[in-house]
Amino acid sequence: SKPILEVDNLQVSFKMSAGEVQAVRGVSFTLNKGEVLAIVGESGCGKSVTAQTIMRLVPTPPSYIKNGSVMFDGKHDITKLSESDMEKLRGQEMGMIFQDPMTSLNPTMTIGEQIMEGVRKHQGSSKEKARERAIELLNLVGMSNPVERLSQYPHELSGGMRQRVMIAISLACNPKLLIADEPTTALDVTIQAQIMDLLKDIQEKTGTSIILITHDLGVVAEMAQRVIVMYAGKVIEQGTLNEIFYDPRHPYTWGLLRSVPRLDSDSNSDLASIPGTPPDLFAPPKGCAFAARCPYAMKVCLEKDPEHFTASDTHSAACWLQHPDAPKVERPIEVGV
């Protein structure tokens, strides 16, 4: 069957008074039906902008889609849909879960009103039907006493429960595609695990396709079948979960994997443990965007942006080290978490 999403050479820029920020610089990938794809990278790498562009949630202006296409379900090019068609698509076929449920829930409306509003807006059902559906959704996301929950306000719930409510709202329309942008980052560790278990469970029950945006490779390992690594607005490596975790090819991916906390140490998972900072996307460098931080940088790296070199049908990395004539370097990390 056709992929649910085909992103081809997507370029998104922000026009600012100081110039143009090239946030997404030619991203391509496909998402198959029923698949969980993780997009990982440091903040500012373009992963959130990519996800929000797929839902057309980036404000235009200042952003604009400079180039590329995003085919949804083989039918609609999202970059070309009218705002009203897009709104329909968002309401009927896509759901999004954000990092901070408190900013996306309305503090003045009860949980029930907010879920029912979602259900009715998208499915136009009667108040009675919407209420039944709201209870069903609260059950699905593992909330106890759903009937009582309907009349509670967001501030009466814990952070983890608010995120469950957000997930319930995102599922109101039975989405074919769910985008979860750092869904557990604002929660404490034990709750994070519960929310990830919930998402996994929902994915298995509903078969929805998921794009999971995260900087946390532990979360990726638990849920994703395929992984895209982004850096400075580009995909620099992609592969199956096993390929990325056990046979990573790009020095940036090595850095990411090195920053995963190991059970036997107390190193933290802060990606800042890769020394240096990403380049300025007002003026991206000419060659490899990672060169300034890369211990293996060669002359060619400063001159020419590396193409994607294929490691398998499913695995590629944009790094000159993958060129057949490049010097062989030893991967500096033990792989596999």
Q: What distances in angstroms separate CA 15 from CA 50, 54, 74, 79, one per listed residue?
A: 16, 19, 30, 18
Binding of residue 114 to Mg ion (CB under 5 A): no
Nearest distance in Å: CB 293, ligand SF4 = 8
Amino acid at 250: H
What are the beta bridge partners of residue 38?
Answer: 212, 227
Instruction: From the list Mg ion, ligand SF4, none, pick the one residue 297 interacts with, judged by a Cβ distance below 5 to 8 Å according to partner type.
Output: ligand SF4
Between 121 and 308, name the residue whose CB sits nearer to ligand SF4: 308
Say which DSSP state 271 is in.
Answer: G
Between 221 and 297, name the residue whose CB sits nearer to ligand SF4: 297
Between 48 and 238, name the residue whose CB sits nearer to Mg ion: 48
Between 22 and 48, name the residue whose CB sits nearer to Mg ion: 48
Long-range contacts: 111-114, Cβ < 8 Å, 24+? 111/138, 111/149, 111/150, 111/151, 111/152, 111/153, 111/154, 111/157, 111/165, 112/149, 112/150, 112/151, 114/165, 114/169
Q: Which residue do the tokens 């940036």 mark? A: 252
Radius of gyration of the chain (CA): 21
Binding of residue 22 to Mg ion (CB under 5 A): no
SS (H, E, C) 303-319: HCCCCCEEEECCEEECC
Residue 73 CA, chain-centre distance (Å), reads: 18
Instruction: From the list Mg ion, ligand SF4, none, pick the one residue 48 interacts with, judged by a Cβ distance below 5 to 8 Å according to partner type.
Output: Mg ion
Q: Which of 22, 48, 208, 214 lies at the binding interface for Mg ion (CB under 5 A)?
A: 48
- Return the axis-axis angle of helices 189-206 and 159-170, rounded to nearest 10°: 20
Helix, strand, coil content of the chain in percent (nearest 5): 35, 25, 40
Between 14 and 320, name the residue whose CB sits nearer to ligand SF4: 320
Nearest distance in Å: CB 187, Mg ion = 15
Return the closest-CA partner of residue 54 out of 97, 10, 98, 101. Answer: 10
Between 266 and 330, name the residue whose CB sits nearer to ligand SF4: 330
Nearest distance in Å: CB 234, Mg ion = 16
Binding of residue 184 to Mg ion (CB under 5 A): no
Between 7 and 119, name the residue whose CB sits nearer to Mg ion: 7
Instruction: From the list Mg ion, ligand SF4, none, pick the one residue 89 interacts with, judged by a Cβ distance below 5 to 8 Å according to partner type.
Output: none
Nearest distance in Å: CB 182, Mg ion = 6
Nearest distance in Å: CB 93, Mg ion = 23
Dist CA 4 CA 2 (whole Å): 6
Amino acid at 183: P
Residue numbers of the site for ligand SF4 (CB under 6 A)?
250-251, 288, 290-291, 294, 296-298, 301, 306, 319-321
Nearest distance in Å: CB 151, Mg ion = 33
Binding of residue 52 to Mg ion (CB under 5 A): no
Between 172 and 319, name the residue whose CB sits nearer to ligand SF4: 319
* Residue 82: count of CB within 10 angstroms of its CB: 8
Instruction: From the list ligand SF4, Mg ion, none, pick the one residue 251 interacts with, judged by a Cβ distance below 5 to 8 Å according to partner type.
Output: ligand SF4
Pick the piece of the chain touching Mg ion (CB under 5 A) from 41-49, 132-140, 202-210, 228-236. 41-49
Instruction: From the list Mg ion, ligand SF4, none, pick the one residue 288 interacts with, judged by a Cβ distance below 5 to 8 Å according to partner type.
Output: ligand SF4
List residues binding Mg ion (CB under 5 A): 48
